[in-house]
Amino acid sequence: MLKIRLKRMGAKKNPSYRIIVINSTTKREGRPVEELGYYNPKTKEMKLKKTSALDWVKKGAQPTETVAYLIKNCNEDGTLNYVKKETVKLSKKAQAKAEAEAKAKAEAEAAAAEAPVEA
């Protein structure tokens, strides 16, 4: 069975990967059937032959979870369409403060809505 997976390259604590098609029983750094591109997770730089990768999937090659994500989020020119998450993580103390402020604001709006309007 053929797999589309990552082949680790690069120095210690500085990984970069090649995206390859390889037999599932061979070792990680074994000789690939075809190289489809490369991916650097530190800089989010990627180059992928998307049409070739999709052809291999149609032929029955199984992509790993990471490679499937990369193929799905790949632009037509082979670069990664990376979207940075906009959510900001807050500490428990900051979350409690934000909830208290939101609750106070909601109560103030409710009180203003209930007040009679004089014309």
Whether residue 28 has pLDDT greater than 90: no
> Does residue 54 fall inside a structural domain?
yes
Domains of the chain: total? 1
Specify the CATH number for the domain of residue 31.
Answer: 3.30.1320.10
> Does residue 16 fall inside a structural domain?
yes
Total-model pTM: 0.67
What mean pLDDT do residues 65-86 have? 85
> Does residue 77 fall inside a structural domain?
no
Whether residue 106 has pLDDT greater than 80: yes
Whether residue 82 has pLDDT greater than 80: no
> Does residue 23 fall inside a structural domain?
yes
> Does residue 95 fall inside a structural domain?
no
Q: What is the mean pLDDT of the chain?
A: 88
In DSSP notation, the chain reads -EEEEEEEEEETTEEEEEEEEEETTS-TTS--SEEEEEEETTTTEEEE-HHHHHHHHHHTPEEPHHHHHHHHTB-TTS-B-----------HHHHHHHHHHHHHHHHHHHHHHHSPPP-
> Does residue 64 fall inside a structural domain?
yes
> Does residue 101 fall inside a structural domain?
no
> Does residue 117 fall inside a structural domain?
no
| Domain that includes residue 65, residue range | 2-72
What mean pLDDT do residues 25-48 have? 90
